[in-house]
Structures are given as structure tokens and as C-alpha cells.
Amino acid sequence: MSETKVTVLVAVGTLLQMASFQGVTLQDKFLGLAAATALLIWVGWRYAGGKGYHGAWGLLGSIGIIGFVILYLFPKKGRLNREAVVPTKPAPARNIHAKCPQCSAPYNPTDYQVDAQAIYCSECKAELPRTPAS
């Protein structure tokens, strides 16, 4: 459900909730409020679900606009985000005692970006082997 549609439905539900208090009889008030609350919970349920949360969070919608503001502030959860949260393990330190073939300066191949095209010695700028024979 688009945020625009949610906004419209929340406005309708909130107006209906307020209008229900204008009901003449207690039954009018109760039915109006029940209908408005059911609508708000349904919208909230779909909205929370769309953001990757359990639909039960949509119950916040029953309190009207404030509940939806809270839902709106929820960060969007998705498969992509969940993967990003998983901390990446640091690469194991190895070949720490590798030496530059040009100037024999020690270097650590794991200090360099894995996706770098080539790595260079910090001392003499010579290209360094990625996996030097130790």
C-alpha cells in the first residue's frame, strides 16, 4: 500500500473516529468508533506489514494519527537491510611478514582492499604480489 493511500485512509479513519463522538445515541458512538478503529487497525496492519514488521504493530493505528506517526518513524525493514545489519567478520590476518620484492619493506596484504586492481608498496611504490611466497 502506498504512503499516499495510507495517509488518505488514516485521515478518513480519524475523521470517522472524531465524528463518532458526535453520535446522538451511545450505540451510534460505539458503532462509529468501532468502524473507525477497525479501519485504522486494518490500515496500520497493512502499513506495518509493508515495512517488514509484524502486522500486530498495526494495532498502534487504533489510537489514530499518533499511532501512525509512530509507525511512520519505524525504520523500514527488508531483506536487504537485515543482511546489512549482520556484522562482517574481519579478514583473518595472514602474510603479515610479507616483504616488498623491491625494497624489502614489510607489508601486510590484508591491509589492502580486496577489490583493488593492484597493490603497491608504501615505501617504494613498486607493485606488490598479493600472495607472496613466504
Query: 128 exposed, middle or buried (CB, 10 Å; 0-12, 13-18, 19+)?
Result: buried
Q: Positive or negative CA dihedral for 84, 47, 70, 61?
A: negative
> Binding to Zn ion by residue 105, rule CB under 5 A?
yes
Q: Which stretch binds Zn ion (CB under 5 A): 8-16, 45-53, 58-66, 101-109?
A: 101-109
> Binding to Zn ion by residue 102, rule CB under 5 A?
yes
> Binding to Zn ion by residue 123, rule CB under 5 A?
yes
Give me the least distance between CB of 101 and Zn ion, in Å please. 8
Q: Which of 34, 66, 93, 124 binds Zn ion (CB under 5 A)?
A: 124
> Binding to Zn ion by residue 100, rule CB under 5 A?
yes
Which residues in 1-29 are b (16+ Cβ under 10 Å) and which e?
eeeeebeebbeebbebbeebeeeeeeeee
**In the complex, which residues of this chain contact Zn ion (CB under 5 A)?**
100, 102-103, 105, 121, 123-124, 126
